[in-house]
Amino acid sequence: MAQTRIGLAGLAVMGQNLALNIAEKGFPISVYNRTTSKVDETVERAKKEGNLPLFGFHDPQSFVNSIQKPRVIIMLVKAGAPVDQTIATLSVYMEKGDCIIDGGNEWYENTERREKAMAELGLLYLGMGVSGGEEGARYGPSMMPGGSYEAYKYIEDILLKVAAQVLDSGPCVTYIGKGGSGNFVKMVHNGIEYGDMQLIAEAYDVLKSVGKLSNDELRQVFTEWNKGELLSFLIEITADIFGIKDDKGEGYLVDKVLDKTGMKGTGKWTVQQAADLSIAAPTIAASLDSRFLSGLKEERVQAAKVFKSGGVSDILSSEPVDKAKLIEDVRKALYASKICSYAQGMNLIKAKSVEKGWDLKLGELARIWKGGVHYQSHLLGPHQAGI
């Protein structure tokens, strides 16, 4: 076989989907995973999804040698030690001028440490945030590469085609800046998403508890909201969720979801960075606190036995509720609060950019977040124009 244009190591679902996306855009790709069954699984998917130019390798040396020079390899592995281990495995077969790209949610200082270490070996390094989840990776993510500009230029033609495409804004990718800026921006992006999801949850709670809206009414409300200034991916899927019936029992699935959530750490990092830089991020911080509280399921159950009031719904239960007015008030509050969440995140990015000398372009960040991200939103148009 002829040498491929690019390689990808790490074939969990995100890695598989991004590799298939790259291949589907016409770029022959080599793939590798320590667990070889994942390699075979990805190759089989490539055959089923259109005989895509994707080639699997079971050993790292053959994988590296299959890629044309200067080699470009994307890693999609768990952050932390697995990244260092993968770099160690692959770099021994790489040559001066080759490039490694970490596509995971990594702490930005780790990226800067690795970029310096790779430079000593003559290798280029990028830390690239990839947003959009499994579906985004397959059909068009938003990507935030930071680090070596030379490395970015190696792969720019691929990223421009693989990224989500927005009609009025182009591909949802841009060179973010030096050092760990790409990972930092992705971290704050996730923090904003924490805030956005918490705001939607609270809007739902008020409409359900105070307005006594049924799930069908909630679905109609959120569907209508998604036609106006609240138009966004999260509002759209929230409307869909309200309509899903429990296929293993009676009623709606939303009423049976366990009110307990976990997190991967980027939201916490965002709040910590805001505190370190003396940047107010109350919406994002409150969303993090809500996740902490949701994890205390047993304690909340015990507290509910002691404090039996239903909260705001009890206070207002004696008052007649004007549903139409409540719905509009909540819509306006949600819109204003989402603006606050985005502004807090952008403020944090700006402060870090000044501290590190990154010279980040906030308008460009708003542009590339208009597609491929979980909170892609109509709101980001005014944000792009305003900053």
Q: What domain range includes position 150?
A: 6-179
Percent of the chain with pLDDT over 90: 80
DSSP symbols for 171-189? ESB---BSTTHHHHHHHHH
Last residue of a domain, one of 179, 196, 220: 179
**Same domain membership, residue 246 and residue 132:** no
Which among 76, 70, 117, 119 is positioned nearest to 95, based on CA atoms?
Answer: 70
Question: What's the average model confidence in pLDDT over 176-198?
Answer: 95
One domain for residues 104 and 217: no
From the list 106, 112, 115, 186, the catalytic residue is 186
Q: What is the DSSP letter of 33?
A: -
Q: Specify the pTM.
A: 0.90
Q: Which two tokens stand for residue 370?
A: 């208009």
Average of per-residue pLDDT across 199-217 = 95
- List, in order, residues 6 or more apart from 182 with CB less than 8 Å away: 111, 126, 127, 128, 129, 144, 145, 146, 147, 176
| Integer CA distances (angstroms), 199 to 146, 156, 286, 348, in order | 30, 36, 10, 19
Show which of 179, 196, 224 is a domain's final residue: 179
Does the residue 111 lie in any domain?
yes
115 assigned to active site: no
pLDDT of res. 163: 96
Would you call 186 a catalytic residue per the annotation? Answer: yes
Q: What are the φ and ψ backbone dihedral angles of 31, each rounded to 5 degrees?
A: -130, 150
What CATH number has the domain bearing residue 199? Answer: 1.10.1040.10
Residue 331 lies in a domain: yes
Q: End of a domain among 150, 179, 208?
A: 179
Domains in the chain, number: 2
- Within-domain flag for 1: no
Residue with token string 């589907």: 24
**How confident is residue 1, by pLDDT bands cut at 50, 70 and 90?**
low
- In a domain, residue 79? The reply is yes
The predicted structure's pLDDT at residue 321: 85
Per-residue pLDDT for 319 more than 80?
no
SS3 of 206-253: the string is HHHHCCCCCHHHHHHHHHHHCCCCCCEHHHHHHHHHHCCECCCCCCEH
What pLDDT does 306 receive? 83
Check 24, 106, 112, 193 and give the catalytic one: 193
DSSP letter for 6, please. E
> How is residue 103 written in tokens?
């596509």
Query: Based on the domain organization, do 150 and 212 belong to the same domain?
Result: no
Angle between helices 215-225 and 323-356 (to 10 degrees): 50
* Mean of all residue pLDDT scores within the chain: 92
Q: Is residue 104 part of a domain?
A: yes
Write the pLDDT tens digit of every residue in 117-142: 999 999 999 999 999 889 999 999 99
Q: What is the CATH number of the domain that holds 96?
A: 3.40.50.720
Q: What is residue 372's predicted lDDT score, i.e. its pLDDT? A: 67
pLDDT at 259 over 60: yes
